[in-house]
Amino acid sequence: MIVMHELLVPAGDMECLKQAVHNGCDAVYLACKNFGARKFAKNFDNEEIIEALKFCHLYGVKVYVTMNTLVKNNEVDEFLKQVDFLHKNGVDALIMQDFGMICLVREMYPNLEIHASTQANISSKDICELYYDLGVKRVVFSRELSIDEIDSIDVPIEKEAFIHGALCISYSGECLMSSMLGGRSGNRGECVGNCRLPYTLKKDNKVLAKDKYLLSTKELNTTSKIDRLLNSSIYSFKIEGRMKSPLYVGFITRLYRNLIDKKEIDLINETNKLKTIFNREFTVGRIFNENDSNFMNIKSPNHIGLEIGKVLEVTKDKIKIRLNKGFELHQYDAIRFLSSNKGLIINYLYDDKMKLISSCNDICYIDNKIGLTKEDIVTKTGDYLLGKAFEKVEEKKINISISVKAKLGSKLIVEFSDGENSLKIERDIIEESINNPISEESLKKQLTKLGNSPFICNNINTEMDNNIFIRIKDLNDIRRELTNKLIELRSNKKVDYLKQEVKFTKTNFKTDKKINCSVSNEEQLKVCLELGVDRIFVMNLDLYKKYQKYSNVYYMLNRCLLNVNSNLQERSLVSDFANYTNYEVVGNYSLNVTNIYTAYYLSKIGIKSITLSVELTPDEINNFLDSYETKFGSLDFIVLVYGRIENMIIKGNILEIKTNDNSYKLIDINGREFPVFYDGVNTHILNYENKSLDIGLMKNNYNYRYDFYNENEIEIKNILLKNDFMC
């Protein structure tokens, strides 16, 4: 059996979208002006969305709109208004992160297809089962999962995975670095890319790496693994790049289209072209079990281009370059000198006699307009001719078949079919020919003259008498009418709009006010037991088992587990989405609860004690409680008021540090020190400072939480006792 695969391509604007469609994508994903995880892309306003939908549907391309940010209470109405607009106008699916909005939209709009975003941390079989039960059509897997792990998830839900583009170093949806450092949340589409900045790594006071791009990944490129992908259970192959150029989108779409369709291409040559468009060095990624050292590019976070030669000589006015064998340089190409990190566009290119030339494949000269002073490696960062080739991309054509019945004494019947839609026109325009009958060739010529329309006829069948006459004008009118009707029919394809009223039930799970603490060692645990802390979350499984006889001790599960339920203990603090209706669990802040609907639907899957998102302000937290109680009743909410927030969780040991050693720190360009440790599976980066929320600003209805990392007994007692909660 042949398994079909979808090629899903990004579109940051209309120009990128057209490049994607005409170069062979099966679907595009794009964003409105709000609620998309790439807030700083151009994105689409409502009029452009309608235009994009009509254009893509005309060519049989699906449109998925990313509404994959976390939604706050005061944004819910606007969010749903945008959902309603998209559903009415025929969007094929929404890609969503926010758990509450996913659940609400599924109930409110049962005909609207939902895909769970990679931002929803799709990293386990458990979450796939949960979303399948909720009616979600597709999940977009975390980029940390291997292809074998994806294949092992035997849930009857569509699978989508990234196969090309930029990689987040942290699990998507689980990164708080940008939010904690500058208030710009990656979970709300505002990431500033802290991972692409230089860091210094220290162990105690010893510098292990200085001012290197220690968190900057290479670019995912799986072109060499296409056969394994085609033999996988992954339905949709996703390319990252809504911030990329139309040239990038067009080129990468055509490249993977050709690979998927098994067309003969020179992959080495195509990869070299790709390097001139965007290249951070390439990796096959965690999807193909790339090791830690080959996953990172600690030298440069930017486009480095294709190495094409070296500088032989530098003067004040000219730069002499020798090109490597097999490489060319053209006027208007862009180049970069790697060591100096200087670049330019070649306005004038000279041969060894200083005559102007348009191209060269050996030794050439260029003007030294950037003040280069020494020999260097030359890379091409922009290929002028390649760019020009994609400016005039050949428009995609849609195959149609035409059938004609032209019998004397009957109406002329002409039918256009695209394989899915059939349109027919009947006209009483056939006359008996006296001396000039219309030939079959002439009839076919007029009806297949589709010109600038999006159609091309691949088959025409005729059944006609020999002695008939039909005016050419009438045939042209019929052709134009059928063409326009078929365009209209294809462009306006949409599922039936259906909106239902959602009925909510009251929740009543409020417990007595509790103090919650997470601890990282036995000393801290003993202090919390001595002080009578209501719930103690223990990170170490052996330590939990040693003290699990105490009913207030909970095991704190790691985030981003491949198997959640198999790691659950008698009492657990959970960080991933799953069905917990048969367990006693508390929800961690990594569940990203920013609106009351997320809390409500979490309670329906068994999480009745919930830590709110650490990205909420005190005012938003207070509003949260009022709003929840008004609409749903009571629930056990926890607010983190003290502790080092975990900014990132990263698969593997990318920093090459010792396991379970807390003496390492990452230091950023501002001198801020971030504790970092490797637990044997993942690298964890904590915030440079403790979160300290003024509880005087909070309502008394909340349960407070304190996270302890390296605090000693005296410090813990001072922190807890000063708040008068241990009386």
| pLDDT mean over 345-372 | 95
Cα(700)–Cα(637) distance, rounded to whole angstroms?
11
Has residue 199 been placed in a domain? no
Q: What confidence score (pLDDT) does residue 43 get?
A: 82
Note whether 628 and 487 are same-domain residues: no
Q: Which one of 447, 462, 491 terminates a domain?
A: 491
Helix (H, G, I), strand (E, B) or coil at 485: helix
The SS3 of residue 597 is helix
pLDDT given at position 539: 92
Provide the percentage of residues in the chain whose pLDDT is more than 90: 89
Give the pLDDT score at 3.
Answer: 57
Split into its structural domains, the chain has a count of 4
CATH code, 239: 3.20.20.70
Number of helices (H), then strands (E), in the chain: 19, 43
Contact 257, 337 (CB under 8 A): no
Q: Cα 21 to the chain's mean position, in Å?
A: 19
Q: What is the pLDDT of residue 252?
A: 98
Please indicate, yes or no, whether residues 470 and 598 belong to a single structural domain of this protein. no
Q: Do 363 and 485 fall within a single domain?
A: no
Quote the tokens at residue 345: 């566009």
Q: How confident is the model at residue 695 (pLDDT cuts 50, 70, 90)?
A: confident
AA letter at 50: I
Quote the pTM value: 0.94
Residue 723: band (very low, low, confident or very high) from pLDDT cuts 50, 70, 90: low
Same-domain status, 330 and 405: no
Report the pLDDT value the prediction gives residue 1, as an integer from 0 to 100: 36
Q: What is the rounded average pLDDT of the residues 1-15? A: 85
Cβ-contact 43, 33 below 8 angstroms: yes
502 inside domain? no
**Cβ atoms 427, 411 nearer than 8 A:** yes
Q: What is the spatial distance between Cα 409 and Cα 430, in angstroms, rounded to a whole number? A: 7
Residue-level pLDDT at 724: 53
pLDDT computed for residue 512 by the predictor: 73
Is residue 253 domain-shared with residue 348, that is, in the same domain? no
* 373 is a domain residue: yes
Does the residue 676 lie in any domain? no
* Averaged pLDDT for residues 303-324: 96
370: in domain? yes
Q: Residue 201: which H helix or E strand, with range?
A: strand 199-203
pLDDT digits (tens, 9 = 90+) for 431-462: 998 888 999 999 999 999 998 999 999 999 99
Beta-sheet strands, E only, within 346-397: 349-350, 356-357, 359-360, 363-367, 377-382
Q: How far is it, in rounded angstroms, from Cα 311 to Cα 430?
A: 76
Identify whether 196 is part of a domain: no
Instruction: Give me the mean pLDDT over the 253-262 stretch.
Output: 97
pLDDT band at 39 (very low <50, low <70, confident <90, very high): low
Three-state DSSP at 342 gives strand
What CA–CA distance (Å, rounded) separates 124 from 103? 19
Whether residue 407 sits in one domain with residue 379? no
Q: In terms of domains, do 52 and 123 share one?
A: yes
Distance CA 336, CA 300 (A): 13
Please state the rounded mean pLDDT for residues 491-519.
Answer: 90
Per DSSP, helices labelled H in 162-320 are: 177-182, 226-230, 246-260, 267-277, 292-295
The whole-angstrom separation of Cα 248 and Cα 258 is 15
Q: Which residues contact 709 (CB under 8 A, 6 or more apart)?
A: 520, 643, 644, 662, 675, 686
Rounded Cα distance between 308 and 324, Å, is: 6
pLDDT band at 255 (very low <50, low <70, confident <90, very high): very high
Do residue 479 and residue 421 come from a single domain?
yes
List pLDDT tens digits, range 270-286: 999 999 999 999 999 99
Both 623 and 599 in a single domain? yes
Band (366; pLDDT cuts 50, 70, 90): very high
Among 534-538, 570-574, 700-704, the minimum mean pLDDT is found in 700-704
CB–CB of 645/620 below 8 Å? no
Residue at 200 is within a domain: no
The 10s digit of each residue's pLDDT in 102-150 is 999 999 999 999 999 999 999 999 999 999 999 999 999 999 999 999 9
Report in angstroms the alpha-carbon separations of 619 from 178, 446, 627, 699, 723.
21, 70, 12, 10, 20
pLDDT of residue 40: 65
Same domain? 24 vs 92: yes
Show the DSSP H helices in 140-210 as ranges.
Answer: 147-152, 177-182
Is 115 part of any domain?
yes
Residues 591 and 467 in one domain: no
487 with 543, same domain?
no
On average, the pLDDT of the chain sits at 94
pLDDT at residue 727 in the model: 40
Residue range 573-596: mean pLDDT, rounded: 95
Domain end (from 430, 460, 491): 491
Helix, strand, coil shares, percent, the chain, to 5: 30, 30, 45
Quick: pLDDT tens for 156-202. 999 999 999 999 999 998 999 999 998 888 888 889 899 999 999 99
Domain limits at 53? 6-167+218-274
Q: Which of 459, 491, 523 is where one domain is finished?
A: 491
CA atoms of 151 and 82, how far apart (whole Å): 35
Task: Retrieve residue 89's tokens.
Answer: 């106008």
